[in-house]
Amino acid sequence: MTARKSRLHFSSIDDVIRELAPSYPVFCVFPDILRARARAFVEGFPGTVLYAVKCNPHPFVLDALAEGGISHFDTASISEIAKLAELMPEAQCYFNHPVKGRGALEAAAHVYGLKDYVVDHMDELDKVVSVAGTDITVEVRVGTPKGKAVYDLSSKFGAPPDAAVALLKEARRRGCRTALAFHVGSQCVDPAAFHIAMELAAKVRDKADVPLDYLDVGGGFPAIYKLNVPPLSDYFGVITNARDEFGFDIPLLAEPGRALVADGCSVLTQVHLRKGDDLYINDGIYGCLSEIRDGDLDPPVRAISRSGPLDGATQPFRIFGPTCDSLDVLKLPFHLPETIAEGDWIEFGLMGAYSIGMQTGFNGFITDTVVCIDGMHEEFVF
């Protein structure tokens, strides 16, 4: 097995291969791209941008986003909160998971001093107040209609409108500050979903008739994945227009994850065996590639040999991951050069979101080599 080297910064993916010739998977972070995406959100969104840490919690990613202007974070667990507190003591975290354990609440409130908590049920409000007290902002999350999103997050979280009204009134009665939140679903390809959700939020606001600290419009901003998705400016425009139309004269928050980091990372894998039209590689659904299967995503790929990029005629291949489980296979065929062979590498692009943070270590396979690739790399745009 090729020994891992300690070098962290490279000029390109090809440079990684020349220097490391890795037989293990390598997670590649493009800090310059991440900084640019962060700046685009901070400058374009009409409010405060929170990065959804669950999307990719690697320190290289968090550092690059902070350098691009992100200082607020959507956190879902005490481990995420602790990581931010260690890496960025000045960061502001929001506990935006609608269901929280009491131990996590104790630490969040009394160790880390968090002041913002999402709820979508009266029992959760009782729990939060009993642990964190009332000198907090309670964000009531409203369920939204299923739209054109890959993942319908309101199937699990989000109060119906009347229940959201009751939660706002009760939180205010107890002396808490109040706010509203929603999430239109992950990888939402229709900007109009935000208009629909903000109209619903306005109806809840008007019926509850309590002061609101802010409206959190959640995430859902999409990455491209070879899809014809609208530009981010369309989403920002819809949100700005809905803010004015529905009279939200309060601060807006957003929780982007995928659109901030998707094209800022890639996964470099190696072919360990070819069986006809089947390729066996060293990463898969139990590693960094799970969302390719779960979301039917079609990330761009390219093949590289020791002498450079592989060119020529392509053909479809089925790709298996490294574990013993026959489920460890990518559903979509990938078109790669017909000459690809054992020892060649495959780079999966647009892998910054829901990748390295979701790997399991099953069968002992894990992607634990992470490197930075300097520059914007416009010669190979995913």
Element holding 224 (H helix, E strand): none
Residue 178's CB is within 10 A of a number of other CB atoms, namely: 21
At 211, list the tokens. 């002061």
Report phi then psi at 134, rounded to 5: -110, -5
Check if the beta carbon of residue 282 is closer than 8 Å to that of residue 272: yes
What is the DSSP track for 261-298?
HGGGEEEEEEEEEEETTEEEES--TTTTTHHHHHTT--
Contacting residues for 234 by C-beta, under 8 A, at least 6 apart: 191
What is the DSSP track for 117-177?
EEESSHHHHHHHHHHH-SSSEEEEEBP----SEEE-GGGTS-B-HHHHHHHHHHHHHTT-E
What is the DSSP track for 42-71?
HHHSSSEEEEEGGG---HHHHHHHHHTT--
Q: Quick one: which of 5, 71, 6, 60 has its CA closest to 38?
A: 71
Active site residue 28: no
Query: How far is 189 from 137, CA to CA, in rounded Å?
Result: 31
Check if the beta carbon of residue 247 is closer than 8 Å to that of residue 269: no
Active-site entry in 28, 93, 265, 324: 324
Question: CA–CA distance from 279 to each of 14, 116, 318, 338 (Å)?
Answer: 21, 47, 6, 11
At 55, list the tokens. 């999307």
Positions annotated as catalytic residues are 324
